[in-house]
Amino acid sequence: MTSPFVPLPAAAPSTEGTDAAGILRFIEAVEAHPDHEPHGLMILRRGRVIAQGWWAPYTRERRQLVYSLSKSFTSAAAGLLYDDGLLDLDRPVVSFFPEFADEITDPRSRGILVRHVASMATGHRDDMYDIAFGADPAEPVRGFLLHPPEEEPGSVFAYNQPATYTLAAIVQRLAGRRLVDLLRERVLDPIGAGELRWMQQPAGRDLGYSGSFMTTDTVARLGQLLLQRGEWAGRRILSEEWVRMATSPQVSTAGNWGNGPDSDWTQGYGFQHWMARHGFRGDGAWGQYCVVLPEHDAVVALQGQIPDMQGLLDLMWEHVLPAFGSAGTAEDDARLAAHLADAVLPAAAVDTAELSDADAAAWDGSEFVAARRGGADARVDRVGTGWRLVLTTAGGRVGAGFEPGRGWTVSDDAGPAVAVSGGFVSSTSLQLDVAFLETPHRLHVTLERPADDGDRIGEVTTRWETEPLHGADPATLTAPRD
């Protein structure tokens, strides 16, 4: 059971030696960038929250899928067992899986150690996800180890999802329970973090490399724990030794994820943490960040839909770092707080049209078939003064109300939590944006009703702003339920 939520201590930026005007310039630059859609932001300095905000329809309380930022939590779980003396970094991975150990005959596969999967230095040149999960979906570790690395373990870096999955599987075997349960008792509750949910494969085994859902606040608290070298309110959570190893370079990443010193993907990799041009970080696809800046005693936690992840970091270095150089004014503090308090994502960019009573009646109860195989079918109904959209897929249903031309309408009533904006662009065309609030993703939906109302069957076209990585069925874009 999670502990009651207690907010982190807060302070005005100027009282913590920070120029709020610089933070505001960062936020405005993010909002103005065509590829950046922020959902939640928290900036901590000297252990206090100096800036926080959520762009409606996203909220403080909502868990959101953080993709590979999950790896930072897997690292914390591994650190607990390392501190307990249970996890030997120099023990061969295959020794943890005696049920198929005899099948693993290649010397390089047998030479992969725990420290190699922890640091993505297994000797493979590429991500082994498709091979590992394709070879044995029921036991991806076996599929991973059956494919020998091209180089000696420890010699090269490759961003490799099965490496983290294998580390997580080892931790769960040693702990005798799921990662979420281990983390809840020994990390999340002690630091006051909120609920964390994790996708599994197979059932009972948390993915480790991705698939966890959490609030921005939980991301920020983990960053602060790492900044404090594993200590929280006078209590030792992780050893200083583990935090030092996890957040310092264990393997070079030069030439892998960038072409020069200005790339934040060429600064080295620790134990499930990236080194950066400034400090270190965990991050996840489409714009999930936990950036820790020890030299400034600061943490930046950000969730969003941001394809250009290096671009976001560039803006952070341009605006946020200088802001830590000098205290601003109380007036700048107030401007920043007001901006974040009123933050709203732009609604669907459509020019709405007024429907006649006859056209509204024709839309009421209309059904739509997917324009492509495997897509979503749809239905539109009049509900009071508003409307309701229902998308039906192989995975289930997504139900959502909407008010044409009136911004975002949030719905939690059927399937995933969503917010909808948009409206009728003509008597026969409806365009909507559906934001899936437990994920970074937004779906563009266009419904075309035939001018001839004889059969009342139209066509629905859907397009993702960013493609979900754990399956693109809209009905499945929600946190796992216990």
Q: At which of 312, 341, 370 does a domain end?
A: 341
Confirm whether 122 is domain-assigned.
Answer: no
- Which of 341, 367, 399 is a domain's end point? 341
Residues 203 and 301 in one domain: yes
Please give the angle made by the CA atoms of 400, 406 and 412, to the nearest 5 degrees. 25
DSSP sequence for 241-270: HHHHHHTS-SB--TTTS-SSTT-TTSS-B-
Task: Tell me the C-alpha to C-alpha distance, in Å, between residue 198 and each of 59, 69, 277, 393, 414.
Answer: 20, 12, 30, 23, 21
Q: Is residue 482 part of a domain?
A: no
Kindly state whether residue 116 falls inside one of the protein's structural domains. Answer: no
Pair 280, 251 in one domain: yes
| 229 and 279 part of one domain | yes
Same domain, 332 and 361: no
Residue 459 has pLDDT above 90, yes or no: yes
Please report which confidence band the pLDDT of residue 350 belongs to, taking 50, 70 and 90 as the band edges: confident
Lowest mean pLDDT among 2-6, 59-63, 247-251, 459-463: 2-6
Q: Is residue 48 part of a domain?
A: yes
Q: Which of 316, 341, 366 is the last residue of a domain?
A: 341
- 253: in domain: yes
Q: Are residues 317 and 401 in the same domain?
A: no
Number of domains in the chain: 2
Name the phi and psi angles at 344, rounded to 5: -140, 135
Tell me what the mean pLDDT of segment 433-458 comes to.
89
pLDDT confidence of residue 1? 47
Note whether 368 and 328 are same-domain residues: no
The residue range of the domain holding 459 is 357-476
pLDDT of 13 strictly over 50: yes
Q: What percent of the chain has pLDDT over 90?
A: 91
Place of tokens 């994790």: 198
Question: Quick check: 385 pLDDT over 70?
Answer: yes
Query: Does some domain include residue 21?
Result: yes
Beta-carbon count within 10 A of 371 CB: 13
d(CA 131, CA 249): 27
The verdict on 363 and 223 lying in the same domain is no
Mean pLDDT of the chain, nearest integer: 95
pTM for the full model? 0.96
Query: Is 437 within the bounds of a domain?
Result: yes
Output the furthest CA–CA distance in the chain (Å, rounded). Answer: 75
Q: What is the DSSP letter of 8?
A: P
**Do 192 and 79 fall into the same domain?**
yes
Between CA 395 and CA 307, with CA 200 as vertex, the angle to 5 degrees is 75
Q: The tokens of 262 are what? A: 């200005």
Where does 39-120 have alpha helices with state H? Answer: 70-83, 107-110, 114-118
Q: Binning pLDDT at 50, 70 and 90, where does residue 353 land?
A: confident
Quick one: 179 and 262 in the same domain?
A: yes
User: Which one is predicted more confidently, 132 or 351?
Assistant: 132
pLDDT digits (tens, 9 = 90+) for 149-169: 999 999 999 999 999 999 999
CATH number of the domain at 237, please.
3.40.710.10
Q: Please indicate, yes or no, if residue 255 is contained in any of the structural domains.
A: yes
pLDDT at 455: 60
pLDDT, tens only, 234-274: 999 999 999 999 999 999 999 766 668 889 999 999 999 99
The CATH number of the domain holding residue 439 is: 2.40.128
Residue 370 and residue 291 share a domain: no
Does one domain contain both 44 and 178? yes
Q: Do 327 and 277 belong together in one domain?
A: yes
Q: Say yes or no to pLDDT of 481 above 90.
A: no
